[in-house]
């Protein structure tokens, strides 16, 4: 297959994440494991339903969100869960603005479709941002932190409020994730992995977890692709998996091991080639030093400054060649080694 552009690689990764969290048990797993708030126990997660994420409100441009669920509450009412997946390497300072826009669009869409009684209250929303960037999230999660008003200002009561719940994958330690009986925690470990040799073990752990939780069986193909993509990224490969045929998750640990061995061999060959180039350059440098020393001896005699040897050891090949070129016109050692303009 042809090479993937970085944007194509990111879209593929984002698509896998969307498939994961468009799966009801997976979404429930994320909430139970990573939203540590008492009210979560009141959610009827067994009867959650997906909501279309495309907003088409008359008079407004069409917008598309990430993942939306309608979740009944054991008390008899309901809640809408708005999940935004954030894959940028750095945190997005203006994410809360995007969250507030989607919250308002969702309410308007529900009103337009008559899913809310005209005289009834708006249903509560719970916005979640799932961030798996390389760097931790460091920017505001609520509107108030972005608005330029003193704390005691009477204008505060006119400002829109909003806040999202942040799940920042990178802030969970490996030890913490390993303690959780959760598929999301295993996915987070795959995302955090920086050593390709750990991926076959993670693949086996995912297979074992799925064997104990058959309700997640539909995700086997998605998880297999995610594991292979992780190896592709860590191994520095430039191509996608060799086939678009369904991948058997049970075969993935062996596939990862094979890829890892091939990657290690390629790395060794690359290292050898780089070292040979360095050794060739070092040979050139040693010869250049000997030439410089011989010419200095003939012109200025055997006397050398005390730091002469150290200066040569630290010099680049280009510097040695420059000093050699100066010998013909130099009147002293200082003329050779002092930087001059227009060399």
Chain segment 192-210, per-residue pLDDT in tens: 887 777 888 898 999 999 9
Do residues 209 and 186 touch, judged by C-beta distance below 8 A? yes
Task: State which residues of the chain have pLDDT below 70.
Answer: 1-11, 56-65, 235-248, 255, 257, 259-282, 303-307, 340-343
Pairing of strands 125-131, 63-64: unpaired
Please choose, from the candidates 106, 93, 110, the residue with its C-alpha nearest in 3D space to the C-alpha of residue 64.
106
Give the domain ranges of the chain: 6-147+159-263, 267-337
Apex 322 CA angle, 316 and 327, nearest 5: 130
| C-alpha Rg value of the chain to the nearest Å | 31
How much is the pLDDT for 159? Answer: 93
Rounded Cα–Cα distance for residues 72 and 78 (Å): 4
Q: What are phi and psi of 72, to 5 degrees?
A: -65, 150
- Beta pairing, strands 165-168 & 125-131: parallel
pTM for this predicted structure: 0.67
DSSP state of 137: -
Whole-number pLDDT of residue 320:
82
H/E element, 13: helix 6-21
Q: Number of C-alpha atoms within 13 angstroms, CB side, residue 122?
A: 13
Q: What is the predicted pLDDT for the residue at 239?
A: 39
DSSP class of residue 245? S
> 162 and 143 in contact (C-beta within 8 Å)?
yes
92 in helix, strand or coil? coil
User: Whole-angstrom Cα distance, residue 130 to residue 121?
Assistant: 28
DSSP 21: H
Distance (Å) of CA 216 to CA 126, 132, 192, 250, 311: 24, 22, 22, 15, 65
pLDDT value of residue 11: 43
Give DSSP secondary structure letters for 270-337: HHHHHHHHHHHHHHHHHHHHHHHHHHHHHHH-S---TTHHHHHHH--HHHHHHHHHHTTT-SSHHHHH
Residue 300, CA distances (Å) to 149, 292, 304, 334 in order: 74, 12, 9, 11
- The secondary element (H helix, E strand) that includes residue 211 is helix 199-212
């Amino acid at each position: 297959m042809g090479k993937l552009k970085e944007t194509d690689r990111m879209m593929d990764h984002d698509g896998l994440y969307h498939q994961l969290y468009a799966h009801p048990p997976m979404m429930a797993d994320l909430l139970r494991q990573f939203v540590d708030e008492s009210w979560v126990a009141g959610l009827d997660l067994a009867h959650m339903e997906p909501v279309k994420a495309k907003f088409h409100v008359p008079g407004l441009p069409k917008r598309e969100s990430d993942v939306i669920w309608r979740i009944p509450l054991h008390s008899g009412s309901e809640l809408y869960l708005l999940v935004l997946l954030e894959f940028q390497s750095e945190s997005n300072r203006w994410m809360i603005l995007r969250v507030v826009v989607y919250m308002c669009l969702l309410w308007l869409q529900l009103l337009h479709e008559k899913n809310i009684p005209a005289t009834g209250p708006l249903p509560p929303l719970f916005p979640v941002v799932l961030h798996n960037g390389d760097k931790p999230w460091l920017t505001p999660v609520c509107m108030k932190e972005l608005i330029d008003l003193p704390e005691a200002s009477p204008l505060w009561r006119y400002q829109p409020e909003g806040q999202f719940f942040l799940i920042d994958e990178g802030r969970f330690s490996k030890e913490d994730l390993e303690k959780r009986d959760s598929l999301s925690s295993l996915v987070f470990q795959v995302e955090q992995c920086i050593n390709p040799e750990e991926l076959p073990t993670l693949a086996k752990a995912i297979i074992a977890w799925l064997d104990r939780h058959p309700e997640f069986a539909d995700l086997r193909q998605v998880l297999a692709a995610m594991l292979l993509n992780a190896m592709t990224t860590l191994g520095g490969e430039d191509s996608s998996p060799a086939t678009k045929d369904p991948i058997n998750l049970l075969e993935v640990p062996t596939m990862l091991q094979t890829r890892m061995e091939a990657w290690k061999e390629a790395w060794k060959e690359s290292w050898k080639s780089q070292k040979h180039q360095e050794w060739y350059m070092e040979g050139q440098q040693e010869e250049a030093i000997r030439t410089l020393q011989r010419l200095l001896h003939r012109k200025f005699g055997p006397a050398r400054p005390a730091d002469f040897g150290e200066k040569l050891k630290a010099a680049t090949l280009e510097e040695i060649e420059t000093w050699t070129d100066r010998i013909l016109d130099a009147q002293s050692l200082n003329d050779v080694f002092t930087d001059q303009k227009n060399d």
